């Protein structure tokens, strides 16, 4: 047996090397780093000196990890690309909440995502985490299935569909819908249009009542139900309200607005199921010469910070996003094996995108 031929690319120094060089057992060497108080001061210093001299990088977490069994990190997963976490306003606030809880306990955050489906599966399988928080905005069911296979605790956020077997944190969508609708109705509005999130399949366009009934996404359905329940109470014929399903992005939302304002009785108020759509709507209306809120009122949903900054500032149904993030993280961190479901309240934040219905 000979030493590695090239000095330069020697393999990294292991704890066992230090132990041998210092003339102590590997148990003692380990203690020097992980429980220094149990080893005699003299020995401790000697070992440390040897480690220093040999350029030891400290106990390798890879080794420790296997023994410890716990990673002390939580994975946050989504089907969107990784940049989603840094670009999407909703995700960012959520992450701030998650970060807060992680900072407090010293846990790390690993971002899990992937460019394509195969990689996603692999990344979930190989993520070094103790549990997952899932952003189920899109492709939620696949994300959930993949994660379930890891048999680690996980919490679903913004889970569109209903599944009692998984932990989830959501908001009271019906109440949110009602709040938004009542606000507009009380301002005198009677002609509405809805900019809806997806109901099921990947499609965009106007939605029929049957489609609503058979909707897979209960979140969307509930918001709609909330809108309509409340509007009915004000005597509005909800069957006449146009509902346009978008993909919650610019193109399909604009298409929806075009369609809604194409003719017939124009709405004086728009119920948007996300702040994103609401803000796109405001921009579109303004560009079209319609004043918000004088001509058309717009109310959003989510309560992202950007809403306060747009012009006019957005009236919206605010979710306690940061708190949801905090709780989700805590659920993973102090997981006790039970399935937990929490429904958070929402609140109406009145800013300047809504006003009295125009006369006549």
Q: Which does 24 bind (CB under 5 to 8 A by kind): a second copy, DNA, none?
A: DNA
Q: Which residues pair with 318 in a beta bridge?
A: 302, 347
Q: Which does 26 bind (CB under 5 to 8 A by kind): DNA, a second copy, none?
A: DNA
Give dist(CA 206, CA 286) in Å, integer. Answer: 23
| # of chain residues touching DNA (CB under 7 A) | 31
Bridging pattern class, strands 205-206 and 243-245:
antiparallel
| Site pattern 101..130 for a second copy (x: CB under 8 A) | -xxx-x-xxxxxxxx---x--xx-xxxx--
- Is 135 among the residues that bind a second copy (CB under 8 A)? no
Which helix (H) or strand (E) covers residue 252, if one does? helix 250-260
Give dist(CA 189, CA 183) in Å, integer. Answer: 9
Which two structure tokens, joined as six digits, stand for 62? 């890879």
- Radius of gyration in angstroms for the set of CA atoms belonging to the chain, rounded to a whole number: 27
Half-sphere exposure of 156 (CA within 13 A, CB side): 27
Nearest distance from residue 155's CB to DNA, in Å?
23
Which helix (H) or strand (E) covers residue 343, if one does? strand 341-344
Chain residues 4-23 in contact with DNA, contact rule CB under 7 A: 11-12, 14-16, 23
- Is 66 among the residues that bind a second copy (CB under 8 A)? yes
Among 286, 310, 322, 316, residue whose Cα is nearest residue 298: 316
Nearest distance from residue 68's CB to DNA, in Å?
6
Bridging pattern class, strands 269-272 and 192-196:
parallel
- Is 43 among the residues that bind DNA (CB under 7 A)? yes
Report which DSSP code applies to 357. Answer: P
| Site pattern 179..218 for DNA (x: CB under 7 A) | ----------------------------------------
Contact 257, 249 (CB under 8 A): no
Give dist(CA 31, CA 177) in Å, integer. Answer: 59
Nearest distance from residue 244's CB to a second copy, in Å?
27
Cis bond before residue 9 (omega within 30° of 0) = no
Give dist(CA 351, CA 170) in Å, integer. Answer: 24
- If the CB atoms of residues 268 and 353 are measured against a second copy, the closer one turns out to be 353
- Is 31 among the residues that bind DNA (CB under 7 A)? yes
Q: Which does 150 bind (CB under 5 to 8 A by kind): DNA, a second copy, none?
A: a second copy
Which helix (H) or strand (E) covers residue 277, if one does? helix 275-287
Q: CB neighbours (10 Å) of residue 99?
A: 17
Q: Which does 233 bind (CB under 5 to 8 A by kind): DNA, a second copy, none?
A: none
- If the CB atoms of residues 100 and 138 are measured against a second copy, the closer one turns out to be 100
- If the CB atoms of residues 39 and 102 are measured against a second copy, the closer one turns out to be 102
- Is 34 among the residues that bind a second copy (CB under 8 A)? no
Nearest distance from residue 274's CB to a second copy, in Å?
19
Q: Which residue in the set 35, 151, 213, 359 belongs to the binding site for DNA (CB under 7 A)?
A: 35
Chain residues 149-168 in contact with a second copy, contact rule CB under 8 A: 149-152
Cis bond before residue 293 (omega within 30° of 0) = yes
- Is 58 among the residues that bind a second copy (CB under 8 A)? yes
Q: Which does 27 bind (CB under 5 to 8 A by kind): DNA, a second copy, none?
A: DNA
Among 252, 296, 304, 310, residue whose Cα is nearest residue 274: 304
Which two structure tokens, joined as six digits, stand for 116? 């394509």
Nearest distance from residue 109's CB to a second copy, in Å?
5
Stretch that binds a second copy, among 60-68, 161-169, 223-231, 279-287 (CB under 8 A): 60-68
- Residues at the contact surface with DNA, assessed by CB under 7 A: 11-12, 14-16, 23-28, 30-31, 33-35, 38-40, 42-43, 58-60, 62-64, 66-69
- Residues at the contact surface with a second copy, assessed by CB under 8 A: 12, 55, 57-59, 61-66, 69, 71-73, 81-83, 85-87, 92-93, 95-96, 99-100, 102-104, 106, 108-115, 119, 122-123, 125-128, 149-152, 309
């Amino acid at each position: 047996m000979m030493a590695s031929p090239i000095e330069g690319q020697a393999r990294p120094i292991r704890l066992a090397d230090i132990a041998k060089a210092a003339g102590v057992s590997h148990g003692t060497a380990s203690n020097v780093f992980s429980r220094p108080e149990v080893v005699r001061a003299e020995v401790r210093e000697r070992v440390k000196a040897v480690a220093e001299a040999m350029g030891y990088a400290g106990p390798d977490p890879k080794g420790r990890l296997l023994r410890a069994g716990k990673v002390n990190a939580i994975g946050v997963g989504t089907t969107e690309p990784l940049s989603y976490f840094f670009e999407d306003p909703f995700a960012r606030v959520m992450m701030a909440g998650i970060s807060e809880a992680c900072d407090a306990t010293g846990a790390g955050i690993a971002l899990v995502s992937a460019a394509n489906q195969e990689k996603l599966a692999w990344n979930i399988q190989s993520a070094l985490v103790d549990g997952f928080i899932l952003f189920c905005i899109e492709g939620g069911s696949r994300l959930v299935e993949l994660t379930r296979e890891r048999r680690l605790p996980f919490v679903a956020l913004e889970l569109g569909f209903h599944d009692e077997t998984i932990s989830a944190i959501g908001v009271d969508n019906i109440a949110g819908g009602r709040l938004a609708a009542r606000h507009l109705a009380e301002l005198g509005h009677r002609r509405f249009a809805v900019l809806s999130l997806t109901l099921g399949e990947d499609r965009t366009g106007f939605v029929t009542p049957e489609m609503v009934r058979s909707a897979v996404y209960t979140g969307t359905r509930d918001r709609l139900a909330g809108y309509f329940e409340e509007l009915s109470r004000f005597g509005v014929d909800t069957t006449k309200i146009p509902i346009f399903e978008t993909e919650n992005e610019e193109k399909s939302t604009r298409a929806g607005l075009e369609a809604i304002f194409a003719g017939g009785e124009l709405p004086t108020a728009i119920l948007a199921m996300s702040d994103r759509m609401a803000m796109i709507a405001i921009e579109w209306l303004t560009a079209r010469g319609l004043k918000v809120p004088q001509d058309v009122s717009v109310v959003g949903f989510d309560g992202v910070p950007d809403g306060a900054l747009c012009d006019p500032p957005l009236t919206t149904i605010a979710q306690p996003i940061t708190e949801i993030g905090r709780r989700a993280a805590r659920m993973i961190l102090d997981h006790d094996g039970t399935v937990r479901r929490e429904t958070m309240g929402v609140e109406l934040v009145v800013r300047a995108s809504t006003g009295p219905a125009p006369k006549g």
